[in-house]
Amino acid sequence: MQTSPIIVIVGPTSSGKSALAVRLAQKFNGEIISADSRQVYKGLDIGSGKITKREMKGIPHHLLNVANPKRTFTASQYQKLGNQALAQIIKRGKVPIICGGTGFYIDTLLGRVIIPAVPPNQALRIKLEKLTTEKLFSKLQTLDKIRAENIDRHNRRRLIRAIEIAMALKSKGSTLIASKDSPWGSKDCPCWLTIGIKLDLDKLKKKINARIKFRINHGLIAEVEKLHRNGLSWRRLDALGLEYRFVAKLLQRRVKREEIAGLERSIWHYAKRQMTWWKRDKTIQWIKNYKEAERLMRHFLAGPPRLERGTTLLESAVLPLKL
RNA sequence: GCGUCGGUGGCAGAGCGGUCAAUUGCACUAGACUGUAAAUCUAGCGCCCUUUGGGCUACGGAGGUUCGAAUCCUCCCCGGCGCA
């Protein structure tokens, strides 16, 4: 088992993760692995809020611009590339800092999500897409009873993937996988420190809205136009969500520029979904400023994090003698 | 001033005598998340009570008709439109 320390930085969109990551990387000899499902694509820069070369301040960044936006990049690919980057950084003797807003991607790296080794089957998906949701559910019931009991029976996307897995494995039982260990640590031995950025919600909302207005006025529209010219269909842009969805509609004259409030709301919903995701992770150290982050990281890197069960890193840093 | 159409829950907008605390969408709140995760999906959403149940207050205001009204009638207030 790997025991090299890993830093994870999470926080809702617009909370300032990238800048914090760069600062910590400078201070602690780190390299950054982006965990963002849109920044992996080439050409999605302004809309995805991708860090600029200048803002990187010389810190190496990984998992940016690794995919062609015409094709969908998946969590599985992310897991593979992310683990490679992680291994390389550790080998170099640097501290990996995973930073991003896509909680699902981060979890694939930390071993909290096990992705069944069943690749997407487009032909099958197209066929299944034609069935009603009820039909899909009953199909899954006959294929994998246990999975059917746990799944959201209204979520077609999940239903189709579950059927895809069940059929590929031709499983007798369930595809539920119990092991949650990753190569980098486990629940009992957290070899990573997760820092979460906590912002006052009103402030966050204002930041989101200011940022969106700025992007619209500073090249976002041209960026989407260019993507479309380069072969990204309106449909594809729609699937990319948020600013890409909105601007694609704008260019098609299906919404007016004044309706930007709708975009602001969508982004707000997104930020809330992100926060919901992280709520269940009780090990996250929520911080309000850089100083707190630096202190946490210093303590974490200083000693092996042999923790009492249920003790948070913050507590152990403050009360080291308790151990 | 006359005529006419309308005033419904935070908003938009159905309902047009009982099955209506009131379809639906949005917003709001909470949540899910097994290769699309900025995606996709779920629940709650007048107030009170422990319930698949009960009570209270509600569809501009005040009266009335009716066993029963958001729905019908009268008057009043407010808005759109047409004619003066």
pLDDT tens-digit profile of A232-250? Answer: 999 999 999 999 999 999 9
A270 CA to B29 C1', in Å? 15
Proportion of chain A above pLDDT 90, given as a percent: 77
Structural domain includes residue A174? no
- Torsion angle of the four alpha carbons A252, A253, A254, A260, in this order, in degrees rounded to the nearest 10: 110
A158 CA to B7 C1', in Å? 46
Are residue A221 and residue A304 in the same domain, yes or no? Answer: yes
The three-state secondary structure class of A213 is helix
Token pair listed for A283: 């090990």
Are residue A102 and residue A222 in the same domain, yes or no? Answer: yes
Are residue A60 and residue A29 in the same domain, yes or no? Answer: yes
What confidence tens digit (pLDDT) does each residue in A38-67 have? Answer: 999 999 999 999 999 999 999 999 999 999
CATH of the domain at A274: 3.40.50.300
Using the CA of A275, give the nucleotide whose C1' is nearest: B31
Strand B nucleotides within a 7 Å radius of protein CB atoms? 26-42
Q: Please give the Cα distance from A311 to A236 (Å, whole number).
A: 45
The mean pLDDT of chain A is: 87
Nearest to A105 by CA among A49, A62, A153, A148: A62
Structural domain includes residue A322? no
What is residue A1's DSSP assignment?
A: -
Are residue A75 and residue A32 in the same domain, yes or no? Answer: yes
Using the CA of A175, give the nucleotide whose C1' is nearest: B34
Are residue A86 and residue A228 in the same domain, yes or no? Answer: yes
Token pair listed for A51: 């860090």
Separation in Å, CA A243 to CA A79, A189, A259, A260, A266: 25, 39, 12, 10, 9
What value does the mean pLDDT take over residues A148-152? 90
Are residue A90 and residue A238 in the same domain, yes or no? Answer: yes
A82 CA to B75 C1', in Å? 76
What confidence tens digit (pLDDT) does each residue in A156-186 have? Answer: 999 999 999 999 886 444 444 433 444 454 4
Are residue A283 and residue A155 in the same domain, yes or no? Answer: no
What confidence tens digit (pLDDT) does each residue in A88-132 have? Answer: 999 999 999 999 999 999 999 998 888 888 999 999 999 999 999
Structural domain includes residue A1? no
Query: What ipTM describes this predicted complex?
Result: 0.86
- Torsion angle of the four alpha carbons A278, A283, A286, A292, in this order, in degrees rounded to the nearest 10: -150
Domain of A36 in residue numbering reads as: 6-114+179-317
Q: Please give the Cα distance from A214 to A200 (Å, whole number).
A: 21
N-term to C-term CA, chain A: 23
Are residue A88 and residue A204 in the same domain, yes or no? Answer: yes
For residue A240, give every residue at least 6 positions away whose Cβ sits within 8 Å of its Cβ, in sequence order, or none.
Answer: A38, A44, A47, A69
Largest CA distance in chain A: 64
| Listed residues A137, A169, A201: the one ending a domain | A169
Q: In chain A, how many domains are there?
A: 2
Are residue A185 and residue A86 in the same domain, yes or no? Answer: yes
Q: Please give the Cα distance from A52 to A59 (Å, whole number).
A: 11
A304 CA to B47 C1', in Å? 55
**pLDDT for residue A111:** 87
Structural domain includes residue A323? no
What confidence tens digit (pLDDT) does each residue in A109-119 have? Answer: 998 888 888 99
* pTM score: 0.87
